[in-house]
């Protein structure tokens, strides 16, 4: 009697509260009810300088919609991963962070450092497609929103060198080799290679492998269901010799390639006095160097050519936003990142590719970005987008300078004929990491 | 009171005379007052973390399960770590002694010279710039390309003075018809006779490298009783047909063409015209070979690979010494400044020459300060980190690896195995203790 | 008095020839020093010129090219730094951290150094060895435990937290240096003072500190430099309270050559440590001890 009414009142109260939370939290499109969400959110990522300004604009757009939430961004620069690891160990991580390696995300998930965001999965799939959504999940649980994407299946070139040698951007690998030989005959070094700590070479491998072995085998290799000594891997390495196999193919020779950092290797091409003609690098290339050359007239890009008749595919990467500390404000921000508005703000400023399916490519500031970002979004739609393989590996194997894939691919450039030994070492390292 | 020379040898560290009324407690009390603050700082910020790290090294990477000595096992079986340990030993052998010696020499030289401040600032500047910037500077200096790296630019100037570049630095035959290489020159495979025309086509020459006065290449008329030919750049945009002299392809002037007899000896030489043609007149009947002399192709200096696997260790060491010599110099100069002038003058008036004064008085009095410098360098070298990470390019980080860097990479650099990282740190700690012990004992005898 | 008389140079009977020989003997020393000095400065000069090069040209040609094209020099890189508010506001923070992190360790280490040098108590030398041994502990080892500690104590992201950390890690070297220096002070001075009945504190303040000035000065220079240029500690223990090193570092784009930022930053950051150096190095004056015995 009295009890029942008390219980009823309590239930009503709870229902009210739940509705209130749900309404003010992540459930609404549009501007309504967004004053209910309040709090502070701290965000960390690698973006600094120009990119930081752009991301700040995105934050401003969010704060307009959610005026009671204050977002503070701190750049971690080069040091983001160690910073986050230390912060996690010490118990004081930021609310959100954007990381580039799914491997690191998986590590954090296993430790319980990041919170699942399964409630956002539907929105993510709606916006970016299954493949991209999967990139942000670990063992079936959603942990991240991939807001910014990178297309790594591109090759950049210096236009004047192509004109001087009389070559055209190739569509197939055979054409690329022929172009390379013509450039050599014209006295122009074909490739500018910066081995850096090794990761640019892993990108080359992944682009070749997905085309020679196909996306299914790519997935198998990523999960270590086939070994690195598989013939398909060796075949891919043989094809890579067409780029890094001979010292004369690379600016400064093999020695210089081994000592050059990635931005410097781009600088050698993006100049009016180039040391080499092409740089086999992803869509970030123009953003890492200051150049006086103009896009399309000075430097340009073509998509990674098909090999032995392979279909179009994109190997890429992205920045994955993960959540360390739960709060409605954090959820609101993550949800905002799945909207077209959020993508548009940065897209208009350049230096940004969004995997968003509904983003109109005309908002990108130039033709090059439109091509590159467009092909990324298309691949996302078609499910022929694959995340950078080395980023999918456990970080000890796939993401640490000085060991694992980074080191072994660097060794490959130093000794490109040592395919058997190097693949054996790769398999040994992989076995250790996947134990 | 005069201070005689003998007591200047080695001021002893023995106990000062103690007034009888002081008790043990009083002595400890005073000591505690003086030592207290230091000991508190050290205990909290250094000792406590050390103990926690030692404990952490016995756990696995996530810190949840006890694994005993597993991490330490990994230390000795892992290749990467082994290289790191070996490198640190090399560092210990070479660097501390060099730094101390250089610092001593500078400090002593400076004593007798006016305007020493300018020199001191110059040598000290590297430390003021920050180790990070210092590493960056040397990274730039060591660039392999002589157009960019200061060191190789210097070496290149010397090399070019000795053996300058030829007219064509890179060039390669456009077809199999030409054989050979930059060392022996390029020779036409097929022998020719008087009355025939030789064609030597070259590629891999940049359009901008073709001499200014070059003209469209032409195939010359056959010369009766002589040998005519043409040397040209066998390339036009798109490639063209190798071996065929086409419109748009330029002749190469100024190239030395040799006429060689069957034995391979050059019996005549001539230079090509702007259109690439050359001619040997009045040639005796017989078979000959036409060749492009090797001095045409001197490849430009490519630069020493300071940052390659072979030289990376010495390169980093040089940079490190450049930074720390200033430290040694300043500290030793302070030590020198504290030596009472009277002692030195007394010795000099007693008839000792400079060298004796230096050996018998200065050095012993400097011994404590020298110890500090040497041992500090020893320990810093064991911990060396910033400069390796700043200078070594990614591809040789393995060859240049040192223990502190290995620890960093293990704990923070992606592997995130804090247990293994802790083990490495503890190992570093254990390494130093015997080294420290030996050196302290050696210098204590003189102190 | 006696000391003054002794320090008069005795050149009365030197012949002109001998004097010329003496000057000549000195010249090679000057020459050698000048040569070494210039060589030593070259990398720094190189970096300075690099800071004047337009960003699009950096890395394409050596810095010496600019000597032949002086009109291409630009202060654009420096302007970019001063326009950056994050960087300019960090200078004050850096100053506070550096001052604190220099003065406190010097005080603490001087006291400890004196104790290890001239106070007598059992176990003194063993304790000293342990303290010096702590020089070994790499900072990385302390990062995580102190991080948790600071979190609990609320010292994270504070100037005080950074100052205390730098103090602690500066102590082993400071104590080592000062103790070894104090030991060189003639025993008689201390004996005399003790016989006169002076307390240890008085001896310390009136005798040891003034005599130890050269060592303290050099210590001040290094400790200041070390803290001013520190990156790692500030990066770990601070988020918003940024010294200049962190401010610059956070602008470093992961994939960029960054020279156009590092080069000018190094020189901007150089200004104050150089001032410190000039201020303190005049304490390296000879003969500080001469004459004070009387």
Count other C-beta atoms under 10 Å from residue C250's C-beta. Answer: 22
What is the DSSP code (8-state) at residue B7?
A: G
Q: Which residue has the tokens 């492998």?
A: A209
CATH topology for the B172-296 domain: Immunoglobulin-like (2.60.40)
- Torsions phi, psi for C292 (to 5 deg): -80, -10
pLDDT band at B2 (very low <50, low <70, confident <90, very high): very low
* Stronger pLDDT, B290 or B15, i.e. the higher one: B290
Whether B330 has a pLDDT exceeding 80, the answer reads yes
- Torsions phi, psi for C123 (to 5 deg): 80, 5
Overall average pLDDT of the C123-131 stretch: 86
Task: Give burial (CB, 10 Å; 0-12/13-18/19+) of A216.
Answer: exposed
Q: What's the pLDDT at B81?
A: 81
Which among A48, A86, A87 has the least Cβ separation from residue C250? A48
Homologous superfamily of C84-281 in CATH? MetI-like (1.10.3720.10)
Q: Which residue has the tokens 């400079």?
A: B354
Domain ranges of chain A: 38-150+316-387, 154-312
Q: What's the pLDDT at C291?
A: 31
| Interface residue B120 vs chain C (CB under 8 A) | yes
pLDDT band at A5 (very low <50, low <70, confident <90, very high): very low
Alpha carbons A424 and C86: distance in angstroms, whole number: 49
A170 and A131 in contact (C-beta within 8 Å)? no
| CB contact set of A82 (below 8 Å; sequence gap of 6+) | B408, B412, B413
pTM above 0.80, yes or no: no
Task: Give burial (CB, 10 Å; 0-12/13-18/19+) of B393.
Answer: buried
Q: Which residues of B touch A81 (CB under 8 A)?
A: 412-414
State the CATH architecture for A38-150+316-387.
3-Layer(aba) Sandwich (3.40)
Distances (CA, A) of B21 to A101, A430, B24, B27, C188: 71, 73, 10, 11, 21
B415-444 burial, b for 16+ CB within 10 Å, e for fewer? bbbbbbbbbbbbbbbebbeeebeebbeebe
pLDDT digits (tens, 9 = 90+) for B249-266: 888 888 888 888 888 788
Q: What's the pLDDT at C21?
A: 62
Whether C287 has a pLDDT exceeding 60, the answer reads no
Partner-chain contact C287 B123, CB within 8 Å = no
pLDDT band at A234 (very low <50, low <70, confident <90, very high): very high
pLDDT band at A159 (very low <50, low <70, confident <90, very high): very high
pLDDT band at A379 (very low <50, low <70, confident <90, very high): confident
pLDDT band at C209 (very low <50, low <70, confident <90, very high): confident
C217 and C283 in contact (C-beta within 8 Å)? yes
Cross-strand bridge partners of residue B216: B250
Alpha-helical segments (H) within B112-130 = 116-128
Partner-chain contact A81 B235, CB within 8 Å = no
| Interface residue B56 vs chain A (CB under 8 A) | no
Whether C23 has a pLDDT exceeding 70, the answer reads no
Q: Which of C54, C56, C259 should be substituted to probe chain A, the one whose Cβ sees the most A Cβ atoms within 10 Å?
A: C56
Please provide the average confidence, as pLDDT, over all residues in chain B: 81
Which among A74, A77, A267 has the least Cβ separation from residue C254? A77
Whether A140 has a pLDDT exceeding 90, the answer reads no
Q: Which residues of A touch B203 (CB under 8 A)?
A: 184-187
pLDDT band at A273 (very low <50, low <70, confident <90, very high): confident
Among the residue ranges A412-426, B67-81, C75-89, the one predicted with the least confidence is C75-89
pLDDT band at B412 (very low <50, low <70, confident <90, very high): low
* Stronger pLDDT, B148 or A169, i.e. the higher one: A169
Q: B122 to chain A, minimum CA–CA distance in Å?
A: 30
pLDDT digits (tens, 9 = 90+) for A190-211: 999 999 888 899 999 999 999 9
CATH 1.10.3720.10 domain extents, chain B:
41-143+307-446
Q: A230 to chain C, minimum CA–CA distance in Å?
A: 33
Q: Count how many Cα atoms sit within 13 Å of the Cα of residue B368 in the half-sphere of its side chain.
A: 25
Whether B314 has a pLDDT exceeding 90, the answer reads yes
Which among B205, B239, B416 has the least Cβ separation from residue A187? B205
- Token digits for B249? 């392809």
Whether B436 has a pLDDT exceeding 80, the answer reads no
pLDDT digits (tens, 9 = 90+) for C221-276: 888 888 888 877 887 777 677 787 777 766 665 455 577 777 888 787 777 777 87
What is the DSSP code (8-state) at residue A105?
A: H
pLDDT band at A15 (very low <50, low <70, confident <90, very high): very low
Q: What's the pLDDT at C13?
A: 57
pLDDT band at A22 (very low <50, low <70, confident <90, very high): very low
Homologous superfamily of A154-312 in CATH? Periplasmic binding protein-like II (3.40.190.10)
Domain ranges of chain C: 2-77, 84-281
| Interface residue A74 vs chain C (CB under 8 A) | yes
Most confident of A369-378, B430-439, C200-209: A369-378
Which among A263, A271, A288 has the least Cβ separation from residue C60? A271
Whether C203 has a pLDDT exceeding 70, the answer reads yes
| Chains with ≥3 CB–CB distances under 8 Å to B | A, C
- The enclosing H or E element of B202 equals strand B197-203
Q: What's the pLDDT at A155?
A: 95
Q: What's the pLDDT at C14?
A: 57
Partner-chain contact B128 C183, CB within 8 Å = no
Cross-strand bridge partners of residue B151: none
Q: What's the pLDDT at A129?
A: 84
Q: Which residue has the tokens 């202060």?
A: C75
Q: Which residues of A touch B408 (CB under 8 A)?
A: 82
Which among A185, A188, A402 has the least Cβ separation from residue B409? A402
Q: What's the pLDDT at B22?
A: 59
Among the residue ranges A23-27, B96-100, B170-174, the one predicted with the least confidence is A23-27
Overall average pLDDT of the A90-112 stretch: 87
Whether B270 has a pLDDT exceeding 80, the answer reads yes
Q: What's the pLDDT at A412?
A: 95
> Percent of chain C beyond pLDDT 70?
80
CA–CA–CA angle B84, B89, B94 (5° rounding) = 125
Distances (CA, A) of B143 to A263, A400, B134, B390, C39: 15, 25, 15, 13, 18
ipTM value, please give it: 0.77
Domain B41-143+307-446 class, CATH top level? mainly alpha
Q: What's the pLDDT at A91?
A: 78
pLDDT band at A173 (very low <50, low <70, confident <90, very high): very high
Overall average pLDDT of the B422-434 stretch: 80
Q: What's the pLDDT at C2?
A: 40
Helix (H, G, I), strand (E, B) or coil at B165: coil
Overall average pLDDT of the A100-113 stretch: 86
Comparing alpha-carbon positions, the chain A residue that sits nearest to B238 is A166
* Stronger pLDDT, C211 or B164, i.e. the higher one: C211
Please provide the average confidence, as pLDDT, over all residues in chain A: 85
Alpha carbons B158 and B142: distance in angstroms, whole number: 17
Overall average pLDDT of the A342-367 stretch: 87
Helix (H, G, I), strand (E, B) or coil at B214: coil
* Stronger pLDDT, A405 or B361, i.e. the higher one: A405
Query: How far does CA A6 lie from the centroid of its chain?
Result: 55
pLDDT digits (tens, 9 = 90+) for B182-217: 667 788 888 888 888 888 888 888 888 888 888 898
Which among B13, B117, B336 has the least Cβ separation from residue C183? B13
What is the DSSP code (8-state) at residue A128?
A: H
> Percent of chain B beyond pLDDT 90?
10
Q: Which residues of C touch B126 (CB under 8 A)?
A: 40, 43-44
Count other C-beta atoms under 10 Å from residue A384's C-beta. Answer: 16
* Stronger pLDDT, B190 or A142, i.e. the higher one: A142
> Percent of chain A beyond pLDDT 70?
92
Comparing alpha-carbon positions, the chain A residue that sits nearest to B399 is A402
């Amino acid at each position: 009697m009295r009890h029942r009414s008390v219980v009823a009142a309590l239930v009503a109260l709870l229902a009210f509260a739940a509705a209130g939370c749900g309404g003010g939290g992540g459930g609404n499109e549009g501007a309504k009810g967004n004053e209910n969400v309040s709090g502070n959110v701290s965000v960390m990522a690698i973006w600094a300088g120009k990119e930081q300004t752009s991301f700040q604009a995105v934050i401003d757009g969010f704060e307009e919609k959610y005026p009671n939430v204050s977002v503070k961004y701190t750049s971690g620069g080069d040091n983001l991963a160690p910073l986050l690891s230390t912060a996690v160990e010490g118990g004081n991580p930021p609310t959100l962070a954007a990381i580039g390696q799914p491997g690191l995300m998986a590590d954090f998930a296993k430790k319980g450092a990041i919170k699942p965001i399964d409630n956002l999965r539907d929105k993510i799939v709606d916006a970016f497609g299954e493949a991209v959504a999967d990139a942000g999940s670990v063992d079936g649980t959603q942990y991240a929103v991939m807001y910014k994407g990178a297309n790594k299946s591109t090759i950049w070139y210096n236009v004047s060198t192509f004109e001087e040698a009389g070559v055209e951007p190739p569509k197939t690998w055979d054409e690329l080799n022929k172009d390379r030989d013509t450039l050599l005959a014209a006295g122009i070094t074909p490739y500018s290679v910066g081995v850096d700590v090794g990761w640019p070479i892993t990108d080359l491998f992944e682009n070749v492998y997905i085309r020679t072995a196909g996306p299914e085998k790519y997935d198998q290799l990523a999960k270590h269901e086939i070994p690195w000594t598989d013939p398909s891997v060796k075949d891919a390495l043989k094809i890579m010799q067409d780029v890094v196999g001979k010292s004369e193919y690379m600016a400064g020779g093999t020695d210089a390639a081994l000592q050059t950092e990635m931005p410097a290797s781009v600088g050698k091409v993006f100049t009016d006095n180039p040391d080499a003609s092409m740089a086999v690098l992803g869509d970030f290339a123009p953003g890492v160097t200051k150049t006086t050359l103009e896009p399309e007239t000075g430097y340009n890009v073509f998509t990674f050519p098909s090999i032995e008749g392979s279909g179009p595919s994109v190997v890429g990467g992205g920045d994955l936003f993960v959540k360390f500390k739960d709060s409605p404000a954090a959820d609101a921000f993550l949800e905002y990142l799945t909207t077209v508005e959020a993508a548009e703000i940065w897209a208009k400023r350049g230096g940004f590719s969004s995997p968003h399916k509904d983003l109109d490519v005309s908002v990108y500031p130039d033709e090059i970005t439109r091509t590159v970002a467009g092909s990324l979004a298309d691949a996302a739609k078609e499910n022929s987008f694959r995340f950078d393989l080395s980023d999918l590996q456990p970080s000890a194997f796939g993401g640490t300078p000085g060991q694992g894939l980074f080191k072994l691919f660097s060794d490959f450039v130093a000794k490109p004929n040592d395919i058997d030994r190097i693949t054996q070492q790769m398999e040994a390292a992989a076995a250790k990491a996947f134990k | 009171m005069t201070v005689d020379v003998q007591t200047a040898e080695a001021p002893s560290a023995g106990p000062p005379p103690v007034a009888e009324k002081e008790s043990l407690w009083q002595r400890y009390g005073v000591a505690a007052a003086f030592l207290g603050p230091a000991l508190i700082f050290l205990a909290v910020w250094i000792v406590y973390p050390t103990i926690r790290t030692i404990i952490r090294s016995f756990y696995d990477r996530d810190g949840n399960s006890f694994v005993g000595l597993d991490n330490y096992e990994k230390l000795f079986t892992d290749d990467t770590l082994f290289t790191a340990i070996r490198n640190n030993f090399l560092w210990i052998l070479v660097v501390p002694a060099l730094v101390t010696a250089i610092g001593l020499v500078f400090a002593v030289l400076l004593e007798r010279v006016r305007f020493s401040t300018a020199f001191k600032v110059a040598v000290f500047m590297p430390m003021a710039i920050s180790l990070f910037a210092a590493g960056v500077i040397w990274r730039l200096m060591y660039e392999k390309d002589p157009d960019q790296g200061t060191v190789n630019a210097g070496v290149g100037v010397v090399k070019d003075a000795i053996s300058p570049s030829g007219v064509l630095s890179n060039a390669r035959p456009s077809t199999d018809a030409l054989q050979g290489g930059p060392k022996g020159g390029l020779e036409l495979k097929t022998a020719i006779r008087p009355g025939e025309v030789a064609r030597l086509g070259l590629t891999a020459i940049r359009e901008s490298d073709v001499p200014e006065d070059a003209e469209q290449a032409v195939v010359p008329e056959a010369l009766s009783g002589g040998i005519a030919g043409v040397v040209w750049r066998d390339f036009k945009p798109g490639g063209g047909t190798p071996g065929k002299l086409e419109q748009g392809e330029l002749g190469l002037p100024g190239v030395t063409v040799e006429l060689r007899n069957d034995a391979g000896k050059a019996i005549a030489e001539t230079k090509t015209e702007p259109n690439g043609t050359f001619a040997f007149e009045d040639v005796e009947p017989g078979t000959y070979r036409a060749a492009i002399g090797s001095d045409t192709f001197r490849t430009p200096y490519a630069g020493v690979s300071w940052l390659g696997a072979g030289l990376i260790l010495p390169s980093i060491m040089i940079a490190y010494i450049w930074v720390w010599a200033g430290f040694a110099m300043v500290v030793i100069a302070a030590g020198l400044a504290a030596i009472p002038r009277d002692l030195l003058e007394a010795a000099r008036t007693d008839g000792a020459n400079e060298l004796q004064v230096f050996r018998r008085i200065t050095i012993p009095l400097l011994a404590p300060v020298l110890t500090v410098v040497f041992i500090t360098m020893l320990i810093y070298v064991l911990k060396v980190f910033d400069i390796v990470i700043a200078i070594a390019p990614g591809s040789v980080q393995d060859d240049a690896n040192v223990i502190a860097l290995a620890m960093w990479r293990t704990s923070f650099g992606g592997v995130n195995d804090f247990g293994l990282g802790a083990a490495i740190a503890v190992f570093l700690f254990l390494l130093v203790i015997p080294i420290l012990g030996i050196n302290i004992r050696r210098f204590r005898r003189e102190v | 008095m006696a000391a003054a008389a002794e320090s008069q140079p005795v050149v009365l009977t030197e012949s002109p020839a001998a004097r010329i020989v003496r000057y000549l003997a000195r010249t090679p020393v000057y020459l050698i020093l000048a040569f070494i000095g210039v060589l030593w400065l070259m990398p720094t000069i190189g970096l300075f010129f690099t800071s004047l090069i337009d960003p699009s040209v950096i890395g394409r040609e050596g810095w010496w090219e600019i000597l032949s094209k002086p009109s291409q020099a630009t202060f654009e890189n420096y302007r970019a730094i001063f326009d950056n508010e994050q960087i300019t506001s960090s200078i004050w923070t850096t100053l506070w951290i550096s001052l604190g992190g220099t003065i406190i360790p010097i005080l603490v280490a001087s006291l400890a150094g004196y104790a290890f040098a001239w106070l007598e108590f059992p176990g003194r030398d063993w304790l000293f060895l342990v303290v010096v041994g702590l020089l070994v502990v790499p900072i990385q080892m302390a990062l995580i435990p102190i991080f948790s500690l600071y979190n609990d104590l609320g010292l994270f992201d504070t100037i005080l937290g950074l100052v205390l950390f730098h103090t602690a890690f500066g102590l082993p070297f400071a104590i080592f240096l000062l103790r070894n220096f104090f030991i060189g002070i003639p025993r008689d001075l201390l004996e005399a003072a003790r016989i006169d009945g002076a307390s240890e504190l008085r001896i310390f303040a009136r005798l040891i500190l003034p005599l130890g000035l050269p060592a303290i000065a050099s210590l001040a220079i290094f400790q200041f430099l070390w803290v001013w240029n520190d990156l790692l500690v500030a990066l770990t223990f601070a988020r918003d309270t940024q010294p200049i090193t962190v401010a610059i570092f956070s602008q470093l784009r992961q994939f960029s050559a960054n020279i156009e930022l590092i080069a000018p930053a190094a020189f901007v950051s150089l200004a104050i440590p150089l001032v410190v150096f000039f201020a303190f190095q005049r304490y390296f004056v000879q003969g500080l001890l001469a004459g004070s015995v009387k």
